Amino acid sequence: MANIRIIKRRIRSVQNTAKVTSAMEMIAASKMRRSQQRLLAGRPYSDTMLELMGHLAAQIGDNGDDVHPLLRRREVKRIEVIHITPDRGLCGGLNSNLNRFTGQFLLDHDVLASVIPVGRKGRDFMVRSSRDVRAVFVDQGDRPTLLDTLPIAHLAIEDYESGYADEVYVSYGRFVSTVVQRPTMQKLLPVEPVQMESNMMSGYIYEPNSMQVLGSILPRFVEMQIYHAILESIGSEQSARMVAMRNATDSANDMIQSLTLLMNKMRQESITTELLDIVGGAAALEG
């Protein structure tokens, strides 16, 4: 009898867990819709800008002193990685995938490296693995504006211009679909040129001049790329959490079912034994 009570208690506890996870699933689903919408709407801008910068970098080349500081290539002594992760857990393997991905990237590069974690989970990982943490940004929320993310971009630009870091990367979970989030590493600075056919290499006309155009477009480029990476990361987080919570709810329900079955079996068994006892007792009396 005691066993049945224990199982009953267990079922109730699993039921409560299922309630929590299914509530979290619903919250994540609604947040996911919103963040997905935002990030998909922003993708054309971000992709076009990346392409445009590639054209620019390809035409300008990468040496000489008259090149804009943000395009100038240097010998790489120190890299800086902006590591974007969620603030919170309970989103399946997303956090550990992201951390492992960036960790591996850092191990593969045999130069000095600084990290700028954006999000608590990335910060904790970088601190734990005693990386050189340059700055930490947490609590970006679920719907940050461009303004919220500007300090990150400005720090990266400053570090690159001052020569503190010779390459700047950004690492984030790219939202592929609701069930797939791909850890992605993107080189931010110096801007990577794209391969172009030679007939397109004729050179731009700049208005008013290349320095001024680049001077206004390059910082904007960095700002927008980081902003967009954060949007991608939020979309990934919410969809990963939704899927993880749905799985958790499903497992909880499976568990409830098998526990209920077990409990019923035990109850029946005990009833059978009781009946046998009674029947046996009655037979003994009659005899």
Partner 1 sequence: MAPMKLEIITAERVVYSDEVDVVVAPGVEGELGILPHHAPLMTVLLPGEITIRKGGEQTYLAVSGGFLEMMANTVTILADAAERSDEIDEVRVQEAMKRAQERVAMRSSDMDLERAVNSIRRSQARLKVVQRRRSRPSPPPGQTQP
Binding site for partner 1 (CB under 8 A): 41-42, 44-46, 48-49, 52, 55-56, 146, 200, 202-208, 212-213, 216-217, 220, 224, 227
Instruction: In angstroms, give the least distance from the CB of 225 to partner 1.
Output: 11
CA distances from 253 to 12, 55, 242 (A): 11, 54, 16
Instruction: In angstroms, give the least distance from the CB of 226 to partner 1.
Output: 12
Given strand 78-84, what is the order of strands in its sheet? 132-133, 112-118, 78-84, 167-175, 181-189
Instruction: In angstroms, give the least distance from the CB of 196 to partner 1.
Output: 9
Task: Give Dmax over CA atoms of the chain in angstroms.
Answer: 116
Our CB check for partner 1 shows the closer of 153 and 245 to be 153
Our CB check for partner 1 shows the closer of 49 and 90 to be 49
Residue 7 C-alpha from the chain's centroid? 38
Q: Which of 179, 251, 249 is nearest to 22 (CA)?
A: 249
Q: 146-162 and 210-286 are packed helices; what angle lies between their axes, rounded to 10 degrees?
A: 120
Our CB check for partner 1 shows the closer of 160 and 227 to be 227
**CB of 163 closer than 8 Å to CB of 190:** no
Instruction: In angstroms, give the least distance from the CB of 188 to partner 1.
Output: 17
Instruction: In angstroms, give the least distance from the CB of 130 to partner 1.
Output: 37
Instruction: In angstroms, give the least distance from the CB of 38 to partner 1.
Output: 8
In sequence order, what E strands does 14-149 have? Answer: 78-84, 112-118, 132-133
Our CB check for partner 1 shows the closer of 44 and 141 to be 44
Our CB check for partner 1 shows the closer of 55 and 109 to be 55
Instruction: In angstroms, give the least distance from the CB of 41 to partner 1.
Output: 5
Q: Which of 242, 285, 80, 108 is nearest to 170 (CA)?
A: 80
Our CB check for partner 1 shows the closer of 107 and 211 to be 211
Give the separation between CA 186 and CA 229, rounded to whole angstroms: 9
Q: For 60-86, give the DSSP string.
A: H-S-STTS-TTT-----SEEEEEEE--
Buried b (16+ CB within 10 A) or exposed e, 58-75: bebeeeeeebbebbbeee
> Which residues are CB-contacts of 6 (< 8 A; sequence separation ≥ 6)?
none
Instruction: In angstroms, give the least distance from the CB of 228 to partner 1.
Output: 8
Our CB check for partner 1 shows the closer of 81 and 218 to be 218
